[in-house]
Amino acid sequence: MAHNTHVAADTNAPPVTSILAKFVSGHVSKGWTQAVEHEAHRTFYNWLGCAIGAARHEAADAALAAVAMFEPAQQATVLGRSERVDMASAALVNGITSHTFDFDDTHLKTIIHPAGPVASAVLALAEKTGASGRDVIDALVLGIDVACRIGNTMYPDHYDRGWHITGSTGMLGAAAGCARLLKMNEQQTQMALGIAASQPVGFREQFGTMTKPFHPGGAARAGLTSALLAKHGFTASPRALEAPRGFVQVVSDKRAWNEVTDELGERFEISFNTYKPFACGIVIHPSIDACAQLREQGVKPEQVERIELRVHSLVLELTGKKEPKDGLQGKFSVYHGCAVGLIYGHAGEEEFSDAVVTDPKVVALRNKVVATVDDTIAEAAVDATAVLTDGRRVHVRVDHAIGSLERPLSDVQLEGKFNALVVPVLGEAKAREITAACWKLAALPNVRDLTALCRP
């Protein structure tokens, strides 16, 4: 019973649990620039589209069938579906669907997908309490700041060990967001963070299974529950994050505490959030983007003799599948990505369906893509040349793909992505109404007016 801690304990850690609790409970509403405010709306809107888009996925069906065993009260909306469930289960299921297509937001500094845990918890709670859009945006910005700052503190060591960092920091962001939404004081917020700190969710071994999207869902549920427990007097260690046997020190050898405190309340991590334009791993994005640009320059599939790609070795290592057999394999094929980029000009979930991956027209073009490794080209870049049947060569160089921090999706492009996800589930009229409600979310008196639109 008198064991020592495993790695060198840091006994001089600053009181980051307390610091974050004070920040979350005390920071003024909309206490940030208009750019941050707008990014929060974009983050929310992108998350909502992803969740609605995957509403009919078999992972959602399975999760809802399990939740139904609890005979839940109808407190909150399962986005994109007619079922309503208790708010903790809504947080779980919406967190699952928002990450099911791997199409959600990315905080590139940590590879955290922060909206999944935070927005899923906050919206479910807000719907139950009838909170305002203003309060939801505040909770989202502050919750994401907590999750990503703890992520910055531990990344990359924590991720390298095998933790799926989205779920293993997300419960803190969800707890912070829910505590803020419930207007909990500093001491209660500190307890909420403390209870959540005992519930990290997820390991990378689960990638490729439904348990991967379970991670943000489980984190959302854990954070929401932690806030409610703390509100009703449940206690936790006030140093649950930073103590030698607390969360951060146990799960990471990197403990850059300054990442919690540097510019706290001035720099907001949501500013560094990005949105995928394409429904696949980010490493193929430059190639898809390049082929879409070739299309814009007038290159047509039937003119193509050959597409020459020069890429970093990592691209072929991760996505070098030459002959994908189905939609999932298509997501790991830079060849398929190029073909749909040139044919359709976009690559949403539909372009990674079994039907498209096996479409003879797509297969034919895919076979004309020749990729060669050139490690002088950055991981985030690509050099593409279309060699046409008449001998012409059309060249495109992409240094930063669309969707990167350097070339973010425009609001119009985000709407295009949203519609591609949502129209098939809810129809055009509702997609339009939701879009309008999301862009003015901060002015919405009651988020129930939004969630009501998210049911068929």
Taking contact as CB under 8 A, which single stretch among the options 25-33, 241-249, 336-344, 420-428 is the one that binds a second copy? 241-249
Residue among 26, 33, 35, 73 that touches a second copy (CB under 8 A): 73
Cα separation of 380 and 428, whole Å?
A: 34
Q: Does 250 bind a second copy (CB under 8 A)?
A: yes
Please identify, using beta-carbon distances, which residue of 107 and 239 lies nearer to a second copy.
239
Q: Does 163 bind a second copy (CB under 8 A)?
A: yes
Token pair, residue 218, equals: 């489980």
CA-based nearest residue to 95, from 9, 213, 178: 213
Please identify, using beta-carbon distances, which residue of 225 and 274 lies nearer to a second copy.
225
Q: Does 443 bind a second copy (CB under 8 A)?
A: no
- At 143, which helix (H) or strand (E)? helix 133-154
228-229-230 Cα angle (round to 5): 90
Q: How far is the CB of 157 from a second copy (least distance, A)?
A: 7
Please identify, using beta-carbon distances, which residue of 50 and 241 lies nearer to a second copy.
241
Q: Does 65 bind a second copy (CB under 8 A)?
A: yes
Per the CB < 8 A criterion, the answer to whether 97 and 77 are in contact is no
The count of residues interacting with a second copy (CB under 8 A) is: 79
Site for a second copy in 83-102 (CB under 8 A): 86-88
Residue among 8, 34, 82, 208 that touches a second copy (CB under 8 A): 208
Site for a second copy in 338-397 (CB under 8 A): 379
Per the CB < 8 A criterion, the answer to whether 67 and 74 are in contact is no
Residue among 29, 33, 185, 209 that touches a second copy (CB under 8 A): 209
Q: What is the 3-state secondary structure (H, E, C) of 30-94?
A: CCCCHHHHHHHHHHHHHHHHHHHHCCCCHHHHHHHHHHHCCCCCCCEECCCCCCEECHHHHHHHH
Cα separation of 294 and 395, whole Å?
A: 8
Please identify, using beta-carbon distances, which residue of 120 and 249 lies nearer to a second copy.
249
Residue type, 250: V
Instruction: For the chain, give the number of residues.
Output: 456
Q: Does 194 bind a second copy (CB under 8 A)?
A: yes
Taking contact as CB under 8 A, which single stretch among the options 69-77, 295-303, 326-334, 434-442 is the one that binds a second copy? 69-77
Residue among 71, 263, 266, 390 that touches a second copy (CB under 8 A): 71
Please identify, using beta-carbon distances, which residue of 49 and 286 lies nearer to a second copy.
286
Residue among 18, 132, 166, 211 that touches a second copy (CB under 8 A): 211
Site for a second copy in 104-123 (CB under 8 A): 111
Cα separation values, 216 from 41, 142, 203, Å: 20, 17, 12
Per the CB < 8 A criterion, the answer to whether 17 and 193 are in contact is yes
Token pair, residue 227, equals: 């806030």
Site for a second copy in 251-270 (CB under 8 A): 253
Cα separation of 82 and 454, whole Å?
A: 9
Our measurement of the distance from residue 25's CA atom to the centroid of its chain's CA atoms, rounded to an integer in Å, reads: 25
Q: How far is the CB of 260 from a second copy (least distance, A)?
A: 17
Q: What is the DSSP string of 160-186?
A: HHTB-HHHHHHHHHHHHHHHHHTT--H
Q: Does 247 bind a second copy (CB under 8 A)?
A: yes
Which position has the token pair 């500094």? 109
Please identify, using beta-carbon distances, which residue of 232 and 302 lies nearer to a second copy.
232
Q: Does 37 bind a second copy (CB under 8 A)?
A: no
Cα separation of 197 and 191, whole Å?
A: 10
Cβ-proximal residues to 267 (8 Å cutoff; 6+ apart), any chain = none
Q: Does 7 bind a second copy (CB under 8 A)?
A: yes
Q: Does 405 bind a second copy (CB under 8 A)?
A: no
Residue among 31, 244, 301, 320 that touches a second copy (CB under 8 A): 244
Cα separation of 447 and 251, whole Å?
A: 36
Q: How far is the CB of 311 from a second copy (least distance, A)?
A: 14
Taking contact as CB under 8 A, which single stretch among the options 42-50, 249-257, 328-336, 382-390 is the one that binds a second copy? 249-257
Cα separation of 9 and 1, whole Å?
A: 18
Q: Does 162 bind a second copy (CB under 8 A)?
A: yes
